[in-house]
Amino acid sequence: MNILSQNPPDYRHDTVLPLPMEVKADAWAVDAACSGNPGPMEYQCIDLQTGAQVFHYGPVKGTNNIGEFLAIVHALALCWQKGLHDKTIYSDSNNAILWVKKRQCKTKLERTPETEPLYQVILRAENWLRTHNYRNPIVKWETKKWGEVPADFGRK
């Protein structure tokens, strides 16, 4: 449980969010939400210094794991485009972090006419990963220690 109650805590002067000291404020946090599996899926990215939404995608038919994967790749691509090569990306998804490192979305989502648009986005993301040597750190958000990731949709 996140015991931080002050926003921001008086010991943090680099953010407007209640971040633990272990968390870098010059970073982005990503998360996905899905109603059902598969179901309507969306993802977003939050700037940890300002609390502002950096981007949002969806909803489209998909899975939570796909959304987590795409959120990281979207953040990496945007960092690349803006020259933010050292910005840390936080994600609470071990699967998505592993998929990004392997440069492949290992989903079992059935490929149908309804999911084809999402599959095209996945293929674009995998191609981006294969053609770019990003150096942004991708760090596991420790939910048990730090509470929900700031990009969480709050639907649990």
Can you point out the beta strands (E) in the chain?
27-34, 39-47, 53-62, 88-91, 138-140
- Share the mean pLDDT of the chain: 92
56 — phi, psi (to 5°)? -145, 140
Which residue, 130, 136, 141, 147, is CA-closest to 3?
147
Q: Which residue has the tokens 């489209």?
A: 60
What does pTM read for this prediction?
0.92
Task: Give the three-state DSSP class for 18.
Answer: coil
Q: What are the chain's domains?
A: 27-146 (3.30.420.10)
Q: Which two tokens stand for residue 93?
A: 């998804």
pLDDT digits (tens, 9 = 90+) for 56-83: 999 999 999 999 999 999 999 999 999 9
Confidence of residue 17 (pLDDT cuts 50, 70, 90): confident
Q: Which two tokens stand for residue 121?
A: 């986005």
